[in-house]
Chain A
Amino acid sequence: MAATETNLVTVTFDGRELQVAPGTPLVVAAAEVGIEIPVFCYEPRLGPPIGACRMCLVEVEIGGRAMPKLQAACTMTTQDGMVVRTAATSAPAKEGQDAVLEFLLLNHPLDCPVCDKGGECPLQDLTFRYGPGTSRMTIPKRTYEKPLPISPSVLIDRERCILCYRCTRFSSDVAEDGELVARERGARSVIATFEERPYVGAFSGNVTELCPVGALLPTPYRFKARPWEIVNVPTVCTGCAVGCNTWVTLREGKAERVISRNHPEVDEGWLCDRGRFARHEPLVERLAEPLIRDSSGLHPATWEEATRSTAQRLRHVSALKGAGAVAIVTGGNLTNEEAYGWAAIARSVGARTASGPVAAAGEWERLDPYAARIDDLDRSDLIVVIGDADVADRAGVVDLRIRKARRAGAHLAIVSAGGTILERDAGSFVAAPAGSAAAIVAALAGAGAAPAGVDLADLGARLAVASHPVLVVTDPIAIALIEQLAHTLRLHERGGVLPMPRGANERGARLAGLSGGGDAVLAGLESGEIRAVVLVGLDPTAEWPEAERWHMALAQADHVVTVSAFVNSAVSWSHIVLPQTVDHEREGTVTNLEGRIQRLRPVTKGPSGRSDLVAIAAIAEVLGVPVAPTPAKVYATLAADLTVPLSWSQLNGRAPLPSRGREARAPKKVAAPKAPPAPAAGRFVLVAPRPLFAGPAVERTAALAHQRAPWVMLNHADADALGVAEHDVISVTHAGGTHTGPLRISRRLVAGAVRINWAGAPATGDATVVRS
Chain B
Amino acid sequence: MLDQVKGFSVTLRHLFRKPVTQEYPEYRRPVYPRFRGRHQLHRHENGLEKCVGCSLCAAACPADCIRVVPAENPVEGRVSAGERYARIYEINMARCIFCGYCELACPFDAITLGNDFELSEISRDALVYTKDMLLAKPERRTPSKSVELYDVPVQEMERVLGMYDVITATNPEGAPE
Contact = CB atoms under 8 A, between A and B. Distances in A.
A228 B55 contact: yes
Nearest to A115: B83
Nearest to B58: A229
B59 A226 contact: yes
Contact of A114 (B52, B59, B69): B52
Contacts of A147: 83
A127 to B, nearest CB: 15
Interface in A24-53: none
Contacts of B84: 114, 223
A119 B53 CA distance: 14
B84 to A, nearest CB: 5
Is chain A's binding surface mostly helix, strand, loop or mixed?
A: loop
B83 A226 contact: no
B82 interface: yes
Nearest to B81: A114
A222 interface: yes
Contact of B70 (A111, A112, A223): A223
B59 A113 contact: no
Given A113-B52, A114-B52, A114-B84, A223 B72 contact: yes
Contacts of B53: 223
B167 to A, nearest CB: 39
Nearest to B107: A113
Task: Give the one of A111, A113, A252 with max B CB within 10 A.
Answer: A113
A734 to B, nearest CB: 42
Contacts of B69: 252
A223 B53 CA distance: 9
Interface string B64-99: 000001111000000000111000000000000000
B135 interface: no
B146 to A, nearest CB: 35
B128 interface: no
Contacts of A229: 55, 58-59
B56 interface: yes
Interface string A444-457: 00000000000000
A113 B56 CA distance: 8
Nearest to A227: B59
A252 B69 CA distance: 10
Nearest to B56: A113
A239 to B, nearest CB: 27
A114 B83 contact: yes
B54 to A, nearest CB: 4
A114 B55 contact: no
Nearest to A157: B83
A309 B54 CA distance: 52
A658 to B, nearest CB: 43
A112 B83 CA distance: 11
A226 B55 CA distance: 7
Nearest to A119: B59
Contacts of B58: 226, 228-229
A626 interface: no
Interface size class of B (residues with CB under 8 A): 10 to 19
B108 interface: yes
A695 interface: no
A118 interface: yes
A118 B105 CA distance: 14
Nearest to B55: A226
Contacts of A114: 52, 54, 82-84
A247 to B, nearest CB: 20
Interface in A85-141: 111-114, 118-119
A224 B83 CA distance: 13
B108 A113 contact: yes
Contacts of B52: 113-114
Contacts of A223: 53, 70-72, 83-84
Contacts of B83: 111, 114, 147, 223
A228 B67 CA distance: 12
Interface string A213-231: 0000000001110101100
A147 B52 CA distance: 16
B57 to A, nearest CB: 10
Task: Give the one of A114, A224, A229, A252 with max B CB within 10 A.
Answer: A114
Contacts of B55: 226, 228-229
A228 B53 CA distance: 14
Task: Give the one of B52, B58, B84 with max A CB within 10 A.
Answer: B84
Contacts of A119: 59
A694 B48 CA distance: 43
A241 to B, nearest CB: 36
A124 to B, nearest CB: 12
A147 B72 CA distance: 11
Nearest to B110: A113
A226 B82 CA distance: 16
Interface in A190-232: 222-224, 226, 228-229
A113 B55 CA distance: 8
B23 to A, nearest CB: 45
Interface string A229-241: 1000000000000
Contacts of B59: 119, 226, 228-229
Contacts of A252: 69
Nearest to B71: A223
Contacts of A118: 54
A172 B138 CA distance: 58
A468 B82 CA distance: 56
A496 to B, nearest CB: 49
Contacts of A113: 52, 54, 56, 82, 107-108
A111 B52 CA distance: 11
A210 to B, nearest CB: 22
A112 B84 CA distance: 12
Contacts of B70: 223-224
Interface string B41-65: 0000000000011111011000000
Nearest to B83: A114
B109 to A, nearest CB: 12
Contacts of A111: 83
A275 B28 CA distance: 62
B130 to A, nearest CB: 16
A229 B53 CA distance: 13
A46 B69 CA distance: 36
Given A113-B108, A228-B59, A222 B72 contact: yes
Contacts of A112: 54, 107
A626 to B, nearest CB: 44
A147 B83 CA distance: 9
A112 B106 CA distance: 12
Contacts of A222: 72
Interface string A534-576: 0000000000000000000000000000000000000000000
A223 B71 CA distance: 6
A13 B15 CA distance: 78
Contacts of B107: 112-113
A695 B61 CA distance: 43
Nearest to A228: B59
Contacts of A228: 55, 58-59
A524 to B, nearest CB: 53
B172 to A, nearest CB: 37
A599 B107 CA distance: 41
A77 to B, nearest CB: 41
Nearest to A229: B55
Nearest to A113: B54
Nearest to B67: A252
A507 B54 CA distance: 45
Q: Which 4 A-B pairs have the closest CB atoms?
A: A113-B54, A114-B83, A226-B55, A223-B70
7 contacts: A111-B83, A113-B52, A119-B59, A223-B70, A223-B72, A229-B55, A229-B59
Interface of B: 52-56, 58-59, 69-72, 82-84, 107-108
Given A112-B54, A223-B53, A226-B55, 4 more contacts: A113-B82, A223-B71, A224-B70, A226-B54
Interface of A: 111-114, 118-119, 147, 222-224, 226, 228-229, 252
